[in-house]
Amino acid sequence: MAKQFSVNDILQFDQRYRATFINSLGGFKSLVLIGTINKKKQSNLAVFNSFFHLGASPPLFGFIIRPDSAERHTLDNILSVKEFTVNHVNESFYKQAHQTSARYPQDISEFDATSLTAEYKTNFAAPFVAESNIKIGARFERRVDIIENGTILIIASIISVSLPDDCILEDGYINLEKAGTITCSGLDSYHKTTRIARLSYAKPNLPLAETDEVFERADNTNNQIKQKNKEQ
Ligand SMILES: Cc1cc2nc3c(=O)[nH]c(=O)nc-3n(C[C@H](O)[C@H](O)[C@H](O)COP(=O)(O)O)c2cc1C
């Protein structure tokens, strides 16, 4: 039997129950660690599940910062330094990623508190997470204040990407599963994924085809050629 809730029912939920209910309702989320630094070279790391794709040309993404905490280190650092990193979470360090959500004082780096490794690259101020397989260097573009609930949308552009070369297929698709990227639901539930299929571009009057095999075959051939070239 399906349970039905009206908006009035939802508003009468206990506050924590409502937050957990609505947070889960948003579906499976991108799970990332955002690495920042302030002008005094104090690093910061925090987990976010609101990271989303905004557009490919130019490559843009967004994420949401909550209004509820007095100190928002990620926000402050991004607004002052304008650069930050976005690091996919892998199964091997999801507990450490979760721990970064604790409210550490500003002078304590979550890198130290969780033993995740800060990795610095030339000409880029913010720290990456060395343990992460997919890492993005990002530049702050714009802050949008969401008047309905006081949250803040950060719009940023992608300026660099680092990922294992065997996780990019022939057509540019990134095999997130192969890279070990995990997902989450709500604010405390972590999940591995299983792909069902990749499908062809949908067109009216054209049957869909499963494309996984085509790209993976092409990719394997490419890898074999690369390997041969290396051996020669
Ligand atoms: C799974 C998970 C996802 C989270 N996603 C967000 C988010 O999208 N936006 C946000 O503001 N806080 C989010 N948080 C809470 C932040 O991680 C937490 O407030 C953290 O202390 C912020 O750190 P900072 O003050 O160093 O920026 C999330 C927490 C968890 C456990």
Whether 183 lines ligand 1, by a CB cut-off of 6 Å, is no
What is the CATH topology of the domain spanning 23-191? Pnp Oxidase; Chain A (2.30.110)
- The protein residue whose alpha carbon is closest to atom 1 in ligand 1 is 187
Whether 84 lines ligand 1, by a CB cut-off of 6 Å, is no
Mean residue pLDDT across the chain: 93
Half-sphere exposure of 101 (CA within 13 A, CB side): 13
Secondary structure of residue 171 in the 3-state scheme: coil
Task: Specify whether the CB–CB gap between 198 and 176 falls below 8 A.
Answer: no
Q: State both tokens at 84.
A: 């930050």
Question: Amino acid identity of 203?
Answer: K
Give the pLDDT band of residue 212 (cuts 50, 70, 90): confident
Whether 203 lines ligand 1, by a CB cut-off of 6 Å, is no
pTM of the complete model: 0.93
Does residue 229 have a pLDDT over 80?
no
Does residue 20 have a pLDDT over 70?
yes
Whether 46 lines ligand 1, by a CB cut-off of 6 Å, is yes
pLDDT tens readout for residues 115-155: 999 999 999 999 999 999 999 999 999 999 999 999 999 99
Does residue 221 have a pLDDT over 80?
no
Determine phi and psi for 118, rounding to 5 degrees.
Answer: -80, 130
Render 173-206 in DSSP notation, one character per residue.
-B-TTTTTB-EEETTTEEE-------BPPP-TT-
d(CA 216, ligand 1 centre) in Å: 36
d(CA 34, ligand 1 centre) in Å: 9
pLDDT value, residue 67 = 86
Whether 99 lines ligand 1, by a CB cut-off of 6 Å, is no
Whether 185 lines ligand 1, by a CB cut-off of 6 Å, is no
pLDDT value, residue 69 = 66
pLDDT tens readout for residues 26-53: 999 999 999 999 999 999 999 999 999 9
Whether 103 lines ligand 1, by a CB cut-off of 6 Å, is yes
Q: Which atom of ligand 1 is nearest to the CA of 69?
A: 19
Domain map of the chain by residue range?
23-191, 197-232
Which of 47, 126, 147 is CA-nearest to residue 94? 47
Alpha-carbon distance of 201 to 187, in angstroms, equals: 33
pLDDT tens readout for residues 56-69: 999 999 999 998 66
Does residue 176 have a pLDDT over 70?
yes
Does residue 226 have a pLDDT over 80?
no
Q: Which helix (H) or strand (E) holds 143?
A: strand 135-145
pLDDT tens readout for residues 69-98: 678 999 999 999 999 999 999 999 999 999
